[in-house]
Each structure stands twice: as C-alpha cells, then as structure tokens.
C-alpha cells in the first residue's frame, strides 16, 4: 500500500475538495486568504490549487463559516476550528511482513486510550503492547478515536470521523500504534460510529443532506442512508472505512449500534460496506473484518451478502454476557430480568441468542431469531465485561469490585473456553478495582446540564437503588475526578490477589491457543450441561470439559466421562470416577476418556 490514497491527492500536494451539493458558493480559507472553489457536476467542489502537509485550512459555504472539513484527517485545534492537511505517506511503515489476522476466534482486548495508561495517549499505549502479547491477546479493539469535543470522553460523540483525536496524539500517532502492534503480532480493530454524530461540533448539515427526518433514532434525526442525497452520505461512510484500512493499516472495524442505521434502500449500507471491504482485502492481500454491534439478535447480520445477508464478519453477542453476568452476580434488574439460571447460560453458550424468537420481558415483545445449524461460533464476540456493560452502570463499577475471585475465575473460563470469539475489557484480566465511568468534556452549559440530568434520571429506576442499597450517587460526567478514577492502576497486577487472577487468564489463553477443541468454533459439537440448582455448568468441548462453579461450598460435578487429565484449575480439585470435585467457586478444565454424556 504505497503512494498517497484518497480523494484530492496529487504529485505536489493535496487539492482540497468537499461535497456540498446544494451550495451556491464554496470557498477555501487559509489564514486570512480565501479563494473560490470550483463546482463539479457531482456536487463536489475543488480548490484551484494544492496545499502541502501541515497547512491549516477551512471552508466557507454560501458565506457562512469558516467550517472544518467534513473529511478532515487532522484537527489539532479541536473540532470547532480549522483543519490541517495530513499526508499519510509521511509514515514509513515497517509492517511489510504483516500477513494480517482473521479476527474470528482470536483473543480480543478492548481498551480506551485515554484511561488505559496514565498519559492517556497512543504512544504511551505502545509501551504496553508487549504486555498484551504476553497475556495472549491477538486483536486489540480501540474505543473510538474520531475527534470529539474537549479533551476527555468515550469517543461515541465524535464529530470529525476522519480525524484522530488530537489529545491521543493525532493521526501520526495512530499510524505508529498500528505499526507497533503489528510488530508484536497484534491485529488492530478500531471502533467507528456511523449511526450518529455528537451534538457539539457537528457541522455536516451545513454542507449537505447528511441527516434525514424520515427516520428517528435515539439521537434524533437519522443519518441519511436512503433519502434524497443519500449517495453522498453513503460514500462518506464507505470511504471512511476504506481509509482506516488502507492509510492506517487497520485490520478490522467495530461498527457501533448498527441497528440504528435506518436504511430502507434496496442495498443496506452494511452490505455495501461488506462488499467494499471484501474487495479491498483482496487488493491488499490480507484479511479485513467488520464486527457489528447489533441489538436485533438477527443471524442475518453475519450471513454473506451473496446469500441475502448483511455480510458482517462477526457481531457482538450481548445475550452471552447477560446470561453469564446474571449467573455469576445474581443481578436481575433491567435487561437481566430473563437471565440468571444455569440453564439460560447453557443455552447462550451453545446457541448464542437467549432471545431467539421468544418473549423478552425487558422489551415487552418477542425478539430475535435462532442461529442456524452450521453457523461458525467465531462469528460472535463474547465477553464478561466491556465499556458498555461497565461504564453504563450507575457507578461504573466492575465485576471485580463485587465478586469473589472464584466467581471471576469461572467467568473468565466461560468466555475464554467458549466456541465464540472472546474479548476482554482492559484490566479485567487482573481483576481491576478501578471503575470505568462515563465522562465528557463539553463546553456548552445546556448540553452539560442535559447530560448530567439524563444520567441521574436513567439510574433512578430499573432496580439500581436496590442494587446499591439506595439511590446511586452518579459520578459527574464533566468532572476530571471521574476521568482520573477511571484510569487503570498499573500497580494492581503486582499485588498477590491480582497477580493470581492474571496468571489464570494467561493459563486460559494458553489453553485456547494450544488445545484444538477450545480453539474450535463448532457450535454443533458444543454442549453445555446445567446444574438443577444453578450452582454449576459443564461445557463440553470435544474431549475437554470446562467445569464452571459459582455455588457456595464444595461440589462434586459430573463431567460425562472419566477424568483422565487435569489441564487447569483455579483451586486444587479431585478427579473421581465420572466427576470432578471443586472445593468452592472456580473453574477447571479436564480431559475425559469418553465424549459420551452420562
């Protein structure tokens, strides 16, 4: 992938271009100078000359502005101010030997750049890459990097979708990060948000019909994917995906909340993205992936486009999380109402969706569809925690702050020995006690107050008061204390209780890497046997048995064969005829001499 790529690059620099189909006049402003841009028949406007790398510029539209470039690669002054030309070829890539990685089945690790390290930058995160490789991580999933208002935030209110947030280091730092990750054998998955933009710094409607009122979303007007002018919006999003993979060598994109992409056109945007990325993968000669977050429990999401599906490489499977979390914690509030039994977890570990056409109490309607036989389990990403499931709790508290170590060990084993693609959330592997709380950095008083009020009202019901023993004192999203509290404490892994859990995670990733039965995504060959009293679940993976125990006290658990070899255990176990005895909550992985269930 050599040479400049993307719209407007020429031998002597970059010629500014912008899509503004309804504008009567568009100008290019550099400093105090402004020149008129030339309109083309396709609604694009081009500048009369090129600009070199590092030049600040902005656009005016029918006299209004100056406005940042909708496709700006670099916003060094923030999302409200001029853009800066960024030449992606200035970085000398060292990953020519990187053959890529199929993210399906790989061990993924989600992290937030701003709180992963004390410095909160991409360059400081590079220093932790050897640690992640040693942990057994194979794919790093970065929460959104697209430029957003202020300094601190989760990134889901990004407004400059082509730029890398400057406080993280900007676009050049992201190139360095991906290059360094590949040197460690780690693929990089970038979280992108195509279903909405944040409210502050969103100037897209000044240029063209990027949004439409023909659909409603939780954030108001929908992104325009099927109304007049949709061709420009669709190109804006498809080109964005291609750019991350081509200019930044990203291996995969995680697409946020695709169920909010309202698209009634003949060809859904996701299918267009899938076919475009497939063609790009063939061109660059390495695997490229799209991982969707979808709330619909619809297996069509991962069905190939040739078969009428949306063509996603994989999708998040929240039902597996809900079944596991409710089982190990006992929580039943809100959307956990239909989860919690060992039988429900067994269903999720073998059939992915708990709501697969049946009734959803939380939604008050039937929901989902069953996963067809023969579907590769690696097409579903599962986790015991992620940014949503931790950060969208009232206090941002992690499971480790409430659960005994044995239950954490069982939870980890369920994820890392499952037939799915496992994902860890930063710090989970050592039982981090630091919370991950929701934080923002907006300047507009009305917006700030609305966010504060909304968070408080959100957690006034759905059982949060019962969980916390009273109305929760929701952290102020605008406070720096909320940001600082959410940063990982890298001294924790050196403490005995945390170090022990970290060793357990390394043991499990090692087993997954070396035991073919655990690496398999064959759902049809996977069974799970639940305890009648909900105390345990035994996962059958070929000749291996993964014994998960969360009950109090010792338990003798049948494993459907004669235990022959103990591969791993959280606590010392006894192997007895046809059973394994665990002294308390925890997990064990054993090989049996027969795969026939008793």
Token duo for residue 73: 């690669």
Partners of 34 in the beta sheet? 29
d(CA 189, CA 249): 10
Residue with tokens 């009567």: 24
Residue-level pLDDT at 213: 93
Region at 19 (left for phi over 0; alpha for psi -120 to 50; beta for the rest) = beta
d(CA 71, CA 52): 16
**Per-residue DSSP letter, 456:** H
pLDDT at 596 over 60: no
What is the torsional sign of CA 295, 298, 299, 305?
Answer: negative
Tell me: the pLDDT tens digits for 152-173? 999 999 999 999 999 999 999 9
Burial 508-524 (b: 16+ CB within 10 A, else e): bbebbeebebbebbebe
CB 543 within 8 A of CB 595: yes
Residue-level pLDDT at 218: 84
d(CA 574, CA 234): 59
CB 315 within 8 A of CB 290: no
Strands (E), 434-525: none
d(CA 340, CA 325): 8
Residue among 69, 237, 262, 249 at smallest CA distance from 147: 69
d(CA 369, CA 299): 7
CATH 3.20.20.80 placement within the chain = 108-317+355-497
Torsion of CA 483, 484, 487, 489, to 10 degrees: -170
Residue among 564, 519, 525, 563 at smallest CA distance from 542: 525
Region at 560 (left for phi over 0; alpha for psi -120 to 50; beta for the rest) = left
d(CA 83, CA 69): 6
d(CA 104, CA 422): 9
Residue among 225, 208, 206 at smallest CA distance from 217: 225
Residue-level pLDDT at 3: 46
Residue-level pLDDT at 478: 96
pLDDT at 43 over 60: yes
Residue among 436, 431, 336, 440 at smallest CA distance from 395: 436
- Average of pLDDT values for 248-253? 98
- Average of pLDDT values for 250-260? 97
Q: Could you list the active site residues?
A: 256, 293
**9-90 fold:** Immunoglobulin-like (2.60.40)
Residue-level pLDDT at 397: 96
Residue-level pLDDT at 597: 43
Residue-level pLDDT at 5: 54
Coil, helix or strand at residue 166: helix
Residue with tokens 């957003």: 148
CB 53 within 8 A of CB 85: yes
Residue-level pLDDT at 6: 61
Tell me: the pLDDT tens digits for 56-66? 999 999 999 99
CB 19 within 8 A of CB 236: yes
Angle between helices 269-284 and 230-247 (to 10 degrees): 30
CATH 2.60.40.10 placement within the chain = 9-90
- Average of pLDDT values for 485-490? 98
Tell me: the pLDDT tens digits for 92-134? 999 999 999 999 999 999 999 999 999 999 999 999 999 999 9
- As a whole number, the mean pLDDT across the chain is 95
d(CA 520, CA 417): 9
Tell me: the pLDDT tens digits for 129-149? 999 999 999 999 999 999 999
d(CA 518, CA 590): 12
pLDDT at 598 over 80: no
Residue-level pLDDT at 538: 98
What does 47-65 look like in DSSP terms, one character per residue? Answer: -SS-B-TT-EEEEEETTEE
The backbone torsions φ and ψ at residue 415, rounded to the nearest 5 degrees and listed phi first, read -75, -45
Partners of 255 in the beta sheet? 192, 292
**Rg of the Cα atoms in the chain:** 25
**108-317+355-497 fold:** TIM Barrel (3.20.20)
Percent of the chain residues topping a pLDDT of 70: 98
């Amino acid at each position: 992938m050599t040479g400049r790529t993307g719209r407007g690059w020429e031998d002597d620099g970059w010629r500014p271009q912008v899509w503004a189909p309804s504008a009567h006049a568009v100008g290019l402003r550099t400093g105090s100078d402004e020149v008129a841009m030339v309109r083309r028949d396709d609604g694009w406007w081009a500048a009369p000359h090129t600009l070199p790398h590092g030049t600040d510029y902005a656009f005016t539209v029918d006299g209004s502005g100056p406005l940042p470039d909708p496709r700006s690669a670099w916003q060094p002054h923030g999302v409200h101010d001029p853009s800066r030309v960024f030449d992606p070829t200035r970085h000398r890539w060292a990953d020519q030997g990187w053959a890529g990685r199929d993210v399906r089945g790989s061990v993924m690790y989600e992290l937030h750049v701003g709180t992963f390290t004390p410095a909160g930058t991409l360059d400081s995160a590079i220093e932790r890459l050897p640690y992640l490789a040693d942990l057994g991580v194979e794919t790093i999933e970065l929460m959104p990097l697209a430029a957003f208002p202020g300094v601190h935030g989760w990134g889901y209110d990004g407004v400059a979708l082509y730029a890398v947030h400057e406080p993280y280091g900007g676009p050049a730092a992201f190139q360095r990060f991906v290059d360094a990750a590949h040197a460690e054998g780690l693929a990089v998955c970038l979280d992108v948000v195509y279903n909405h933009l944040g409210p502050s710094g969103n100037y897209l409607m000044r240029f063209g019909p990027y949004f439409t009122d023909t659909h409603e979303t939780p954030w108001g007007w929908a992104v325009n994917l099927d109304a007049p002018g949709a061709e420009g919006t669709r190109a804006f999003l498809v080109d964005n995906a291609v750019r991350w993979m081509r200019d930044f060598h990203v291996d995969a994109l995680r697409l946020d909340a695709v169920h909010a992409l309202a698209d009634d056109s003949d060809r859904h945007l996701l299918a267009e993205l899938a076919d475009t990325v497939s063609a790009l993968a063939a061109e660059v000669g390495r695997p490229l992936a799209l991982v969707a977050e979808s709330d619909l429990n619809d297996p069509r999401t991962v069905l190939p486009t040739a078969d009428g599906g949306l063509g996603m490489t994989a999708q998040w499977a929240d039902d597996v999380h809900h079944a596991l979390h409710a089982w190990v914690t006992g929580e039943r509030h809100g959307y956990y109402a239909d989860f919690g039994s060992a039988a429900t977890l067994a269903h999720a570990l073998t059939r992915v969706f708990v709501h697969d056409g049946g009734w959803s109490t939380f939604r008050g309607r039937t929901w989902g569809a069953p996963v067809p036989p023969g579907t590769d389990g690696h097409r579903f990403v599962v986790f015991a925690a992620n940014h949503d499931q931790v950060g969208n709790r009232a206090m941002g508290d992690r499971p480790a702050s409430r659960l005994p170590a044995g239950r954490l060990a069982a939870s980890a084993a369920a994820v890392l020995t499952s037939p799915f693609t496992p994902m860890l959330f930063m710090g989970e592997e050592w039982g981090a006690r630091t919370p991950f709380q929701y934080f923002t950095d907006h300047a507009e008083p009305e917006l700030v107050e609305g966010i504060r009020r909304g968070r408080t009202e959100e957690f006034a019901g759905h059982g949060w008061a019962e969980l916390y023993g009273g109305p929760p004192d929701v952290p102020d999203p605008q406070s720096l204390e909320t940001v600082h509290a959410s940063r990982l404490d890298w001294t924790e892994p050196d403490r005995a209780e945390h170090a022990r859990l970290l060793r357990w995670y390394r043991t499990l990733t090692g087993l997954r890497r070396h035991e073919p039965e655990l690496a398999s995504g064959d759902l049809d060959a996977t069974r799970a046997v639940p305890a009648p009293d909900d105390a345990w679940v035994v996962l059958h993976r070929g000749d291996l048995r993964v014994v998960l125990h969360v009950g109090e006290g010792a338990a003798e658990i049948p494993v459907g064969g004669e235990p022959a070899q103990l591969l791993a255990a959280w606590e010392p176990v006894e192997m007895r005829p046809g059973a394994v005895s665990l002294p308390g909550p925890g997990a064990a992985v054993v090989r049996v001499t027969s795969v026939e269930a008793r």
